[in-house]
Amino acid sequence: MNTLKDININGKTVFIRCDFNVPKDGDGNITDDRRIRGVLPTIRYCLDRDCKIILGSHYERPEPGIYEEKYSLATVVTRLHTLLKLASTIQLATDVVGTDAKAKAAALQTGEVLVLENLRYEAGETKNDEAFAKELASMVDIYVNDAFGACHRSHASIDAMARLFDHDHRAAGFLLSKEVNFFEKTLLNPIRPFVAVVGGSKVSGKLEALRQLIDKVDKVIIGGGMAFTFLKAKGYEIGISLVEDELLDEARTIMIKARKKGVKFYLPVDVIVAPEFSDTVPSKYVSSQEIPDGWMGLDIGPASSRLFRTVLSDAQTIIWNGPMGVYEMDKYAKGSLKMSHNIADANATTIVGGGDTADVALRAGDVEEMTFVSTGGGASLNLIEGNPLPGIEALKA
């Protein structure tokens, strides 16, 4: 796979597939612009080589063909302009491969940046449609993929389009290269003790990653909603906590495998419980073995936070994916925030993956303290699972 420095882009028209799928609040304000900042080195490198630049990204999941303002990349373009500090304005096409995009692309001057509208306005994007990919490709000389967060999807701008360019005319951007190198190096050659901290809502979404991690790590810490499937598999009463009953056997198998391999497997020893999924009802701390009937666990308790801190104290490498509780509600955010501080304070290489997890680290003010915060949740899980990413495969083909 080429990276940008391996190919000649001087004076060329370059398409950069970005991942501008940034979180926004209820008023449409961008709450975390790391994905936009992440692609700046690639854009600047192209600008310094007198390129004309066309940027493409999806944003959420619009209905193809229906242009709704909330799915537009307009806010992203404004932020990009602020961050890039370009003298010229960054243009936003009103379509993706329509007359406006084509006209603006044709009129593009050296050092100018054009952003195409949300790629998913076109039905061909998610269908990995070759005809649509050809339309995109017809506007440029060079293809660059810097959208790590979208690389696990076989979509037209990620897969089919990359395959239309030969080896000398396509490359990975700096963000994509950095993400892949980080995960591959860490997983292949971790400095030990290597600890995985896994949380979030469901075991099912992270089952394969967990299976793979057990073969690589020295310790596993489980938190979040998924902990209750493991606690139930151990025979504990878990009240009305989130559980995946069909995965109880699988959970037992994972714990047995960990024991056989000498991997230390930690579950929360106490939790915060409430009678319903709400932050306006009374809640209390209980031991994980004493969850009352009719109550649900919504965060790990203070004893678990202390235990996990001790477990992390000798770690040299920590990989973290998934919050410890329902962190979106302040009342149940403490466990996740403390976990973030504990990981940030550890004298270890720390890798944070997943949108929610990065959000926790951001809220905790710990992002700068982490070694690496990935911009891709699904993509980083796929890398941990050892699955080939379509975006990377297409660049290698």
Integer angstrom CA distances of residue 67 from 61, 70, 123, 124, 292: 11, 9, 12, 15, 49
Query: Is residue 120 a known part of a binding site?
Result: yes
Whole-number minimum distance, CB 201 to ligand AMP, in Å?
Answer: 3
Which residue's Cβ has the minimum distance to ligand AMP?
A: 200
Query: Is residue 49 a known part of a binding site?
Result: no
**Which residue number, 135 or 356, has a Cβ lying nearer to ligand AMP?**
356
Query: Is residue 297 a known part of a binding site?
Result: yes
Contacts of 299 (CB under 8 A, 6+ apart): 271, 272, 324, 325, 326, 327, 331, 332, 333, 334, 335, 336
Please tell me whether residue 202 binds ligand AMP under the rule CB under 6 A. yes
Integer angstrom CA distances of residue 179 from 58, 171, 374, 375: 19, 14, 7, 8
Query: Is residue 206 a known part of a binding site?
Result: yes
**Core vs surface per residue 234-265: b (16+ CB within 10 A) or e:** eebebbbbbbbeebbebbeebbeebeeeebeb
Q: In degrees, to the nearest 5, what angle opens at C-alpha 201 toward C-alphas 195 and 204? A: 80
Site for ligand AMP in 349-368 (CB under 6 A): 354, 356
What character string, x for contact with ligand AMP (CB under 6 A) and - otherwise, covers 15-34? --------------------
Q: Residue 139: which of 108, 166, 94 has the closest Cα?
A: 108
Contacts of 43 (CB under 8 A, 6+ apart): 16, 53, 55, 84, 113
Q: How far apart are CA 352 and CA 373, in angstroms?
A: 5
**Which residue number, 201 or 316, has a Cβ lying nearer to ligand AMP?**
201
Select from 62, 301, 323, 390 the one that contacts ligand AMP (CB under 6 A): 323
Stretch that binds ligand AMP, among 108-116, 138-146, 195-203, 312-320 (CB under 6 A): 195-203
Tell me if the bond preceding 193 is cis, omega within 30° of 0: yes
Please tell me whether residue 275 binds ligand AMP under the rule CB under 6 A. no
Please tell me whether residue 200 binds ligand AMP under the rule CB under 6 A. yes
Q: Is 5 a catalytic residue?
A: no
Please tell me whether residue 255 binds ligand AMP under the rule CB under 6 A. no
Q: What is the CA radius of gyration of the chain?
A: 23
Stretch that binds ligand AMP, among 88-96, 137-145, 199-207, 246-254 (CB under 6 A): 199-207
Whole-number minimum distance, CB 151 to ligand AMP, in Å?
Answer: 18
Please tell me whether residue 322 binds ligand AMP under the rule CB under 6 A. yes
Residue whose structure tokens are 């949380």: 199
**Which residue number, 193 or 325, has a Cβ lying nearer to ligand AMP?**
325
Determine the distance from the C-alpha atom of residue 317 to the mean position of all C-alpha atoms in its chain, rounded to a whole number: 19
Select from 124, 149, 225, 301 the one that contacts ligand AMP (CB under 6 A): 225
Q: Is 35 a catalytic residue?
A: yes
Stretch that binds ligand AMP, among 26-34, 132-140, 196-204, 229-237 (CB under 6 A): 196-204
**Which residue number, 137 or 210, has a Cβ lying nearer to ligand AMP?**
210
Please tell me whether residue 239 binds ligand AMP under the rule CB under 6 A. no
Q: Is 378 a catalytic residue?
A: yes
Polymer length of the chain: 397
**Which residue number, 249 or 276, has a Cβ lying nearer to ligand AMP?**
276
Whole-number minimum distance, CB 256 to ligand AMP, in Å?
Answer: 23
Q: How far apart are CA 94 and CA 100, in angstroms?
A: 6
Residues in binding contact with ligand AMP, number by CB under 6 A = 16
Please tell me whether residue 135 binds ligand AMP under the rule CB under 6 A. no
Q: How far apart are CA 146 and CA 19, in angstroms?
A: 7
Please tell me whether residue 387 binds ligand AMP under the rule CB under 6 A. no
Helices (H), the chain: 34-47, 74-84, 99-107, 123-126, 130-137, 160-163, 174-188, 207-214, 227-233, 248-261, 302-312, 334-345, 355-363, 377-385, 390-396
Please tell me whether residue 224 binds ligand AMP under the rule CB under 6 A. yes
Q: How far apart are CA 382 and CA 153, in angstroms?
A: 10
Catalytic residues, by residue number, are: 35, 202, 355, 378
Provide the binding-site residues for ligand AMP, judged by CB under 6 A. 200-202, 205, 224-225, 242, 297-298, 322-323, 325-326, 328, 354, 356
Tell me the binding residues for (2R)-3-phosphoglycerate: 35, 120, 153
